[in-house]
Structure formats: C-alpha cells, structure tokens
A = this chain, B = another copy of it.
Amino acid sequence: MQISMSSTALGTSRRMLENLSHILDVGEAFAVARNIDPLVLTGDRLAPDMFPLRRQVQIACDVAKNGLARIAGVEAPRFEDTETSFAELQERIVKTLAFLESVPAEQIDGTEEKPVTFPVGKDSTRTLAGFEYLSSWVLPNLYFHVTMAYAILRHNGVDVGKGDYLRGREARA
C-alpha cells in the first residue's frame, strides 16, 4: 500500500479505534469476572484533574471523526457524550467507524497543502496545512487518548498488554 493522506488517516484511525474496542472488551471482561461495577472502570482516571476512561474514548472517537471530516471537507456526525457503560462506549466506536467508512478516499487524498482550521481550547482556532494537521495534531491526539484508555485499565490491574494495543483482537486470535 502506498503512503497517502487517506491510507494514513483512514488506516490509522480504523486500526486504533478497533484496537481500542478490543481493549475495552478486555476491561469489561475483567470487571465481570471480578464482580466489579464496570462504571468504576469507565469512570476512573489517573489524576483527579484528568479525564476518566469514558471521556478518553469519546475524545479518541471525536479526534478521528472530526479530523477526517475537516481534511475531507465533509460534515461529521455529532454525538452527545452521554456514554457511561462499556456497551455505550462500544456503540460510539461503531458509529465513528461507520462514519470513517463513508468518507471517500478521493476526498482525503491530495489534501497535504489544504489549509485546515480547527478549534484549540474553548475559544481559539488554528490553521495548519492538511499534512501538518494530520501528522502533528490528529494522529498524536488519537494515539494519546487510546493509550490513556489503555493506561487507566492497566493501572486498575486489567491484563492488557502492548499486543492488545498494537494488534487488537488479532493479538488473542
């Protein structure tokens, strides 16, 4: 496969969201096996002023969906951020993946120099060329929130390993 805006943006987003879904499955199975309220895990965080697991998942989805939408010049669906259970978080990932599949690769390719304006914080925006936006903003953010979700589960004793993060369900096939 050749490197392109679409193979990079779509391929990475799809892989990492699927792997996140797998990691959440391992977390849920851990809670069920030990009779732990699953909301304890989805509400846990690594520091008191950090987002909990459920918010890490919501943001990972938003980064992928909004990033791709801005690059391709299409409208992204909006989600309500009401998920708390593992099942609801999985559904959000499914909806996000469905949106990613709906964006034609031709609208993503060739956007390396296209100016993309995006929100930063509450009331400010930045504009970067498409390739810079993808490589220095979208993907680092996506990896950050997927890794943070993994870190929160790992810190709670869930037996996820780096293979689960890198290869998703394939790691346990």
Contacts and interface: CB of A to CB of B under 8 A. Distances in A.
A129 interface: yes
Given A1-B131, A135-B11, A151-B148, A140 B157 contact: no
Contact of A1 (B1, B132, B143): B132
Given A147-B151, A162-B144, A166-B141, A157 B1 contact: no
Number of identical monomers bound together in the oligomeric complex: 2
A155 interface: yes
Contacts of A147: 143-144, 147-148, 151
Interface in A118-173: 129, 131-132, 134-137, 139-141, 143-144, 147-148, 150-151, 154-155, 157, 162, 165-166
Interface residues of A, number: 37
Interface stretch (A2-10, A27-35, A81-89): A2-10
B165 A144 contact: yes
Contact of A136 (B134, B151, B157, B166): B166
List of 9 A-B pairs having minimum Cβ-Cβ separation, nearest first = A143-B143, A147-B147, A46-B155, A151-B151, A3-B131, A144-B147, A47-B154, A2-B112, A1-B131
Interface of A: 1-5, 7-8, 11-12, 15-16, 46-47, 50, 112, 129, 131-132, 134-137, 139-141, 143-144, 147-148, 150-151, 154-155, 157, 162, 165-166
5 contacts: A3-B5, A7-B131, A16-B140, A50-B154, A143-B144
